[in-house]
Structure 1
Amino acid sequence: MKLDLLILDGSVVDPEKLETYKANIGVEGDSIVYVGSDAPTDVKVTIDAKGLYVSPGFIDTHVHDEKLDEDDVERALLLQGVTTAVAGNCGLGPILSDELLSKPRYLRIGFFTGHQTLRQEVGLNDVYMPADSKAIKEMVEILKQELSKGSFGLSLGLEYVPGASYSEISELAKVVAQYDKKWVSIHIRYDGERSLEGVKEAISLASECGVRVQISHLASMASFGCLEKALEMIEEAKPHADVTFDSYPYRAFCTRIGSAVFDPGFEKRWKKGFSSLQVASGKNRGKRLTQELYVKLRKEEPDTLIIAHVMNEEEVKVALKHPDCMIASDALMENGQGHPRVCGTFPRAFRILLKEGLSWPEIVRKATYLPAKASWFEDRGVIKQGCKADLVVFHPKKIEDCATFKEPNLPPKGIEYVVLGGKIAVQKETLFEPEGEVMLRR
């Protein structure tokens, strides 16, 4: 047997059967061709994985990587083991262009079509204005074109578009339901005490339109005393609604100050004031917000990222521990600056879940098998012959996040190797330049 790559003597994590076992993994081209106890000798590259765990490459279904001229998000994700991602969430997915389709990538990445993008395409730039029937019909036609070109589905950011009616989004969701293996990602309409209304709307959308709906970063929306009830609602809806959800392992979220999320009155929703808000990008980065700075940034620098330290940490853990919760980063950067979740989500979630008593297979499942199933990635998420050779070799006792709110761009420790398409993409915190990975289309 001739192999391009052999991973020798590792402990393979099986997130499907929830077990670990000793095995060697053989790779030819971009596929796994062997998993077993034999050790072929005709091998181009060998990784000694003795004492290490070998996992399928992590799959991040909630990413923001919409800018053509920046690679910061992809690089940060790859360094923590992410090999496949879906971007364009929260209604911000781009119109697919030749430039977007052909850009070399650090990892395998696909895009949703964004609801806000569709609105802008039909001239509806006021997020507080509802779409009329003519605009909805035009958006439907554009969405059909994008889905046919390879978009993974529709992303909604309803908290950012208060004017969007249920009839508007349901007409678009019905279009997605007509296509195979595509779904709707939804940043629900409300956070805080009204988050359960947003969860109810997401469930209705799935049930009434016959489409899979993934509730984005559930913990950041409902960890205000509502998280357990939200999980209960999703659980009770299973017989009639195809609803999934993801979360990241931080008690602070991050978004742009000019968005509707920070419209006046936000303090009442979160029961937190300006001192809980931290500037994450621009010349004021690191400062706590004041009334004066809030007004100035809203007016003059609306794209400034703000980190809001407002969620209940114990509820965040409850979300992460749920058997159906997928780990997702919500990675978002502005000129290389942002929230530590961009660089630390997966290792941080792993350490939290270990402390909460989950086993390694149960933990890895949330970053591999679950998102693969939820996204219809049938050739990844597990380590089997014929699957994509996207793999992570990590040290189970050393893996940890290093990124902090003061230093958000620090890479994690304990990721020894990341293999992407059969080639070593990361080796001991050293990231190699991409070898032509391009956008995923469906």
Structure 2
Amino acid sequence: MTRTLLTNAIIIDGSGGKKFKGSILVTDAKIDKVIREGEGLPSHDVLTDLRGLVLAPGFIDVHSHADNAPFLSDADTSKILQGVTTEVIGNCGFSLAPRSSGSAEVFEKYSLRIFPELDWRWETFGEFLSAADSAGYVTNIAPLIGHHSLRIAVMAMENRAPRAEEIKLMLRFMDEALDAGVFGMSTGLIYPPGVFAQHEEISALVRNLPDNAIYTTHMRGEGVQLFQSIAEALRVGEETGRRVQISHLKAAGRPNWGRMNEALEKIEAARSRGVIVTQDIYPYTAGSTMLTACLPPWFQEGGNDRVIERLKDKKALKDLSEEIQQSTGDWENMIVGAGWNGIVVSSTGSHNYESESLEAIGKRLGIAPLDALVKVLLAEELRASMIVHQMSEEDVVTALQNPYTMIGSDGLPPGTGGRPHPRTYGTFPRILARYSRELGVFGLEEAARRMTSLPASTFGLTDRGVIAVGKQADLVCFDPEKIQDLATFDDPVQTPQGIPWVMVNGSVTVQDGIFQGSKFGQRLTRKVT
């Protein structure tokens, strides 16, 4: 038994309560005592003087895509160096299991649009978790089961409603994941095959979740379809009685700027009716996703091979050009929302085209921007991601002002290289530096609550998120005057400053701002009620 005393701290306990001076005794992996200034200090084996810096619960990233992190040859430190000690993975419908033999090739090819190559050693969700457990975790992970993965396992990339027996098979795969301890299910209704799913399918799956599980959704649309998409998400929550988390809430595309208040009012009205709904955002005015998200749903039916066929078909390309220009509003047309200059290639399989907008690639090659999109996708066999500049700072601030908004990085899977979105390396210090210290959107105590106790209570992480006796010792120490995100769109792979020390499950993981090399994270499991 090791007793570590952390002294001379400004303690922000994560509850939203007022900060206070004090010390904390950690015994093995748990918080044993919280001592206010002036109270006697207990006996201890190790003494760490925090010299007046802030000590808070470790931050919780509610929207991570680092499902593959355990399998990387080098430890993914992008989150731990921000003070993140827990990540919710399996978001936007993407989880790395289940994987059925009948559609394994479709699943593996599709995963390459966003994940690096993997050594597929599993089929069931439990087997995936066992493989990840063996590799170890830098941070704790709380997994979700992805709707895309369920659907591909049963229906591949077919654009139709599932038959009754196919719903039953999806439910069986879901039950296996729930038995393995997942915290809920996610959808990504903007992407295939989720975009092919209708309300009845989603509702049937969500209804199968236990009462203490959560439904998280990357909604069907965040631009022209924003309000009907919010209504769709709320309807699922209202009909099933399950908790709903709206992922990375935004009002995308210039015509929708300034409508965040209206979106929040719709959500608040549902909350007043008894729907349990919350939301998260990332503190940037650009998003990031796979480049194929520029294509309409019909173009993506059938999986990678069919998409590549259409990219070579003159009639399909003519239809694509007309649909993009018409902007019918029945799908999330990112080209209309951001413009060709607002879509920047961030990573590709070959690392060509990176950091160039589609407009710039077209000009450089002497071709139209649409032809540049087609060229990149064909050259990279769809293995390309993008940054999409399509939100307003005013809407980001408005969303942050809402007390039910928590923080998720939405960082894409690590290991693909390129020039990723800076949110992967800067989200959490940016909240404290820009939005708390500089803009005064909220005080430190409230900023910490959004990143600790609020997500912990929302996702059912019952033993974390606050500094209290008996809770797990996931802790972060930071300097409120010096903390700063350094990652930019031009130079995104930059670790922040002002976070010298991080503890995960009672073990020091970051010392003097440097990752110490050991993996102390754990796979968390949903509490069975």
TM-score range, shorter chain: over 0.9
Rounded to whole Å, the distance in 1 between the matches of 2:62 and 2:16 is: 22
Look at both structures and tell me which one has the larger radius of gyration over its CA atoms: 2
Deviation at 1:240, TM superposition (A): 2.4
Check if 1:174 corresponds to 2:207: yes
Deviation at 1:194, TM superposition (A): 1.3
TM-score by length of 2: 0.79
- C-alpha contact 1:220 1:316 (8 A) present in aligned 2: no
2:182 to 151, 155, 160: 151
Check if 1:318 corresponds to 2:398: yes
SS in 2 for 1:308: strand
- C-alpha contact 2:211 2:242 (8 A) present in aligned 1: no
Q: CA-to-partner distance for each residue in 1:7-56, whole Å, 9 max, x for gaps?
A: 11110013324210001011010001011144647433322212211111
2:265 to 228, 232, 236: 232
Deviation at 1:224, TM superposition (A): 3.5
Counterparts of 1:174-323 in structure 2, within 5 Å, are 174-176=207-209, 179-219=210-250, 224-238=257-271, 239-259=273-293, 268=327, 269=333, 270-282=336-348, 283=351, 284-290=353-359, 291=369, 292-301=371-380, 302-323=382-403
Counterpart of 1:107?
A: 139
The aligned amino acid for 2:378 is K
- C-alpha contact 1:254 1:339 (8 A) present in aligned 2: yes
Pair 212,244 (structure 1): closer, same or farther in 2 beyond 3 Å: same
Deviation at 1:432, TM superposition (A): 1.6
- C-alpha contact 2:5 2:25 (8 A) present in aligned 1: yes
SS in 2 for 1:14: coil
Give unmatched runs, 5+ long, in structure 1. none
SS in 2 for 1:393: strand
TM-score by length of 1: 0.93
SS in 1 for 2:141: strand
Rounded to whole Å, the distance in 2 between the matches of 1:228 and 1:403 is: 29
- C-alpha contact 2:161 2:196 (8 A) present in aligned 1: yes
Deviation at 1:252, TM superposition (A): 0.2
**Count of aligned pairs between the two proteins:** 438
Relative to total residues, which structure has the larger strand share, 1 or 2? 1
The aligned amino acid for 1:91 is G
Q: CA-to-partner distance for each residue in 1:283-321, whole Å, 9 max, x for gaps?
A: 221111132331122334223110001111210111122
Q: CA-to-partner distance for each residue in 1:367-418, whole Å, 9 max, x for gaps?
A: 0011011011121111111111010100000001000111111001100111
Relative to total residues, which structure has the larger helix share, 1 or 2? 2
- C-alpha contact 1:156 1:187 (8 A) present in aligned 2: yes
SS in 1 for 2:79: helix
Rounded to whole Å, the distance in 2 between the matches of 1:19 and 1:71 is: 42
SS in 1 for 2:136: coil
Pair 174,261 (structure 1): closer, same or farther in 2 beyond 3 Å: farther
Check if 1:329 corresponds to 2:409: yes
Rounded to whole Å, the distance in 2 between the matches of 1:73 and 1:165 is: 39
Deviation at 1:193, TM superposition (A): 2.0
Give unmatched runs, 5+ long, in structure 2. 98-124, 298-319, 328-332, 360-368
Counterpart of 2:169?
A: 138
1:416 to 500, 503, 511: 500
Counterpart of 2:104?
A: none
Q: CA-to-partner distance for each residue in 1:305-344, whole Å, 9 max, x for gaps?
A: 1000111121011112211100111111352342110100
Rounded to whole Å, the distance in 2 between the matches of 1:92 and 1:271 is: 24
Counterparts of 1:341-420 in structure 2, within 5 Å, are 341-354=423-436, 355-420=439-504
Deviation at 1:438, TM superposition (A): 3.4
The aligned amino acid for 1:305 is S
Counterpart of 2:317?
A: none
Rounded to whole Å, the distance in 2 between the matches of 1:408 and 1:54 is: 27
Rounded to whole Å, the distance in 2 between the matches of 1:319 and 1:285 is: 31
Identity of aligned residues (%): 34
Check if 1:78 corresponds to 2:80: yes
C-alpha RMSD of matched pairs (Å): 2.1
- C-alpha contact 1:219 1:248 (8 A) present in aligned 2: no
Which moved further from structure 2: 144-153 or 297-306?
297-306
Q: CA-to-partner distance for each residue in 1:221-254, whole Å, 9 max, x for gaps?
A: 5864431111001111113211111000000000
Deviation at 1:72, TM superposition (A): 7.2
Pair 136,224 (structure 1): closer, same or farther in 2 beyond 3 Å: farther
